[in-house]
Chains A and B, each alone.
Chain A
Amino acid sequence: MFYQQKFRILSLFIGFIFFGLLINIYNLQVVNRENAIISVNQQTLDTFYIPAPRGEIYDANNNKLASSSLEPHLFLNLRKVNDENRSQYEQYLKYNFPTLDNEDINELFESNKLLAKIINIQNLNFDNRQSLSGLDAFEIFDYPIRNYEYDNIASHVLGYLGEPSLEDIAIYPASINTNIVGKSGLERYYQNDLSGEPTQVIFKGSEIEQIVPSTPGKDIKISLDVNLQKIATESLLQGMELANDNFESRDEINKGAIVVLDIETNKVISMVSLPDYNPNNFVDGISKRDFNKLNITGAFNNYPIQGQYPPGSVFKVVAYWLAEQEKIYPEGLSSRSGRIDCKGSLAFGFNDGSQQVYNDWKEGGHGRVNLGASIKESCNVYFWDIALKIWRDFEGTSAESILQQYAKNLGFGSTSSIDLPYEASGVVPDRNLFEEWSISQPERVRPEGWLGGDLMNLIIGQGAITATPIQVANAYRTLISGKISNPFINLNNEQESREVEELDVSEDFISFLLDDLNSVTNEGGTAHASFSVLGKAVKDVGGKTGTAQNSGDKNNTSWFVGVDSITNPRYVIATVVEEGGSGSAIAAPITRRVIQSLRGLELTPVKFGEITE
């Protein structure tokens, strides 16, 4: 039974209560407004920010690469320190924390912050912590500690943390509060995701009025396989050791890169850059001196995406594709099986009357070679013939830069859009670029401008062209998969929405390409000496060597691009050793060892191969 009468009385009662609330609000907003505004203007609220624990980073097999933990730290509330009690606090700190020297302590008291972080007190027992909190100006807060579990491994991918510069603050404005920002690698690229929301300590005068807890940063799972990363790093170091033993070089040969891409998805499975650094050393701040020491070795360069090298013969794959696609073969040939007679040099004349002789790396020449054999043995003459054909047919027309167009379609000359900062774009030279350079950088070009010889250089990956290891790896991956897409590392990212474009290549072309890459590592191929150790498996792997000449007295750049399997290609591996001397002797055996790991074969040490190109 519902009692209407009781309901009416109750409603009236509630009405009165709300009328009371309304009067209360009226008093606040209208009657007492002036007083309130005065106290608002008088009150000074200040906020001190303590960074939130950064999101953790996991590899593809859920190995933790970068972890975050909260540890209690002692802070000094500087608003509660005055001339009278300062010496008391100084004494206390000196007595209880002998690791702090006078300079540290002075710095603490001179800080212009609200709270100064004194020391980690994780290992302090309960009684000592109690006695600390008895002192008025001491505060204890949890402070996040970043730890990179594998030290130097994948340091360039993960990046490191540091104090934000003015430029950093312009990009990541929130970093001014916590005074910490990702300086490179994923730590920087995903700064906004990883950083979370800091703890806010609200001060009213010298008192802490309110603490708003932090929101931890988001975790990131990445495509890297840390075990492969370790093996790749090790292999690259072994290869550099061999290069130093076998080649004369003014400086120590210690710069290089390895990129392993998943052919189907374009995930980065491994990305090694040497020399490397230990990001843990930056957690508590690194001295200017140590930083400079590292910097001068080039340790902060992420060579897989920042190292711009002439690609040499690994670039021949572009002309290989162009020849098949456009049916442009050396003069007189009409298919890939047609052969030229390579005598080891090429003499030719251009319309401008110039007469030149180009020498192949192999004295005496390769004999009768077709398209496949010219990849297998890395014959330059065959490709020069293609360049001559392009030049003679198209010089001065828009089709003149058809080779550059093909290169650009494979990603040369522009960044790969990988999710890492500071990627370099490399250079694909053409007539227009040379004209630009003749004004901006006249020392780089001859006064005659773009000539046929430049195209002949370009087709074998020499001259003004530069490419990054990731571009080279991605170009091969693009041809083998028939799909254009950008490489990526973060798996949480909405990668499904990535643009994937179909490339105009036929199944036939892909199997020809794979077979020809396979011939490189087999009997008679330039990399056979480095791959024969694989035994039976050598029949199922492939690659392309590259030895790019450098100007001045620098050694050749050593390149190798490998594919882990011909029947079921899953990974493309690009290896480069700066001043490594020879692609077939150094980069090839390094790549071979990475392929051994990818295929689950027994690992054998990197062994000096055969100097071919």
Chain B
Amino acid sequence: MNNRKITLLGPEGTNLTLLTIFLILNFVSWLTLFTLSGGLSFNLQNSVFRQISFSILAVLLFFAITYVSLDQIYKYTFIFYGVISILLILLFATEPKEGVRRWFDLGVVDFQPSEYIKIGLVLFISRCITERYNKIYIGAISIIPIALVFFQPDLGTTTLLIVITLSMFIVSDIKTRNILSISLLGGVSFFGLLELGFVNSYQLNRITSFFESVDFAQSQSRLAISSGGFTGQFFEVDKVNQIFIPVQSTDFIFSAYAYQFGFLGVIILFGLWGFFFYRVARIILTTESDFEKFILAGFSASLIFQIFINISTVIGVIPVTGMPFPLLSLGGSSIVATAVIFGIINRIFIENNVVI
């Protein structure tokens, strides 16, 4: 597979478009956090400084991952998948924080294995489908980490993992009809679990209350987005004092972005991501390796679903779900995991001799 001719930026090469988009998206995040925090100061309490630190780590990781060939990724897929799954099991031995077991406390930072199972699952299913294993077995083994995440409990990531699995199955040779019937079965059994009390009542409350009354945070978020107008407010912070949005630097950051940079900014953000997915789609359609196709499709599904859920929450068309906006929301785990995804995609680009 190693027949590359042109390389840019280093011996293994880098796709310039991908790198540029990655850097711009990071920069947009700093800018938005800057308007929220009212300034940059050099300590880890300051959100801009924290995000910049994580971004630097992310860029380093992006380049480091680029050195790992797809052959190696293919070889170590099962080990990676297994290790992360074991970490997910070990989480149950930790002390719950606010009722959930989601992180390993590593002192300065927390380590969140569920961020990496998103990657592990995509690689696992890609390899299994490429090797033409029995699809029922693939599905059965995929369920294990999904169930582990479900019982953390982390409903948002569980849904994301299910969506990743289903979308990868849809573009495979499994009959769409079968997938739909399995999804139906899954839906029914979910409500079964609900009846038996396996799902926290607060999660249910969030869904039911959505239909009863307008969520305060969402109504405020909609007002903030509207106030942004077509061209945005551009760093005029004082006007936003009359609006209150919780977790504005993480899950609701899109409202701050839309407020500051307006509809124009939203179009640019959509454009950047759109262009990125367009480039990915082109590789999916031209590359000969099924492994690469499924990886790209799986990662795309993961990113697109996160963006979709995040924006839908912020503009209030679905109930509040704690889903960060990739590369925009404040948070180390999410940026680092997304950097790994970008690094692997970059490797696929250069192994296909696409450098610009």
Q: Which A residues fall within an 8 A CB radius of B? A: 1-4, 6-7, 10-11, 14, 17-18, 21-22, 24-26, 28-30, 32-33, 35-37, 39-41, 43-45, 47, 202, 204, 209-210, 212
Contacts and interface: CB of A to CB of B under 8 A. Distances in A.
Contacts of A47: 244
Interface in B226-270: 226-230, 242-244, 246, 258, 262-263, 266-267, 270
B64 interface: no
A271 B290 CA distance: 73
Contacts of A30: 229-230, 263
Given A6-B176, A30-B263, A40 B223 contact: yes
B290 A29 contact: no
Contact of A25 (B263, B281, B285, B308): B263
A41 B242 contact: yes
Contact of A36 (B226, B285, B311): B226
18 contacts: A1-B129, A1-B132, A2-B172, A2-B284, A3-B173, A6-B171, A7-B284, A18-B270, A22-B270, A28-B315, A30-B263, A33-B226, A36-B226, A40-B227, A45-B242, A202-B244, A204-B216, A210-B216
Given A2-B171, A29-B226, A29-B228, 18 more contacts: A2-B293, A3-B173, A4-B285, A10-B167, A22-B267, A25-B258, A28-B222, A28-B226, A30-B230, A33-B229, A39-B223, A40-B227, A40-B242, A43-B223, A47-B244, A202-B244, A210-B217, A210-B246
A25 B227 CA distance: 12
B244 A29 contact: no
A249 to B, nearest CB: 51
B311 A21 contact: yes
A412 B230 CA distance: 65
B225 interface: yes
Given A33-B227, A41-B242, A21 B315 contact: yes
Interface of B: 129, 132, 167, 170-173, 176, 216-217, 222-223, 225-230, 242-244, 246, 258, 262-263, 266-267, 270, 274, 281, 284-285, 290, 293-294, 297, 304, 308, 311-312, 315, 317
A33 B228 CA distance: 8
Question: Which of A7, A24, A45 has most B Cβ within 10 Å?
Answer: A7
Contacts of A26: 263
A36 B297 contact: no
Contacts of B297: 2, 7
Contacts of A209: 216, 244
A45 B173 contact: no
A10 B227 contact: no
B222 A36 contact: yes
Tell me the interface secondary structure of chain A in the complex.
helix
A21 B225 contact: no
B243 A45 contact: yes
A25 B173 contact: no
B223 A36 contact: yes
A589 to B, nearest CB: 48
A25 B242 contact: no
A28 B225 contact: yes
A29 B315 contact: no
A40 B263 contact: no
Contacts of A43: 223, 242
A7 B311 contact: no
Contacts of B223: 36, 39-40, 43
A419 B167 CA distance: 59
Contacts of A202: 216, 244
Contacts of A14: 304
A291 B242 CA distance: 40
Contacts of B225: 25, 28-29
A484 B266 CA distance: 58
A30 B242 CA distance: 20
Contacts of B270: 18, 22
Nearest to A4: B285
A43 B227 CA distance: 14
A40 B219 CA distance: 11
A37 B290 contact: no
A492 to B, nearest CB: 14
A10 B263 contact: no
A33 B231 CA distance: 12
Given A2-B172, A3-B173, A212-B246, A29 B229 contact: yes
A570 to B, nearest CB: 31
A494 to B, nearest CB: 11
Contacts of A3: 171-173
B284 to A, nearest CB: 6
Contacts of A40: 223, 227, 242-243
A41 B241 CA distance: 11
Given A21-B308, A29-B266, A7 B243 contact: no
B222 to A, nearest CB: 6
Nearest to B294: A2
A26 B228 CA distance: 11
B296 to A, nearest CB: 10
A412 B296 CA distance: 70
A199 to B, nearest CB: 12
Contacts of B176: 6
Contacts of A10: 167, 170-171
Contacts of A45: 242-244
A3 B274 CA distance: 22
Contacts of A2: 171-172, 284, 290, 293-294, 297
A14 B297 CA distance: 13
A612 B262 CA distance: 83
B266 A37 contact: no
A7 B173 CA distance: 11
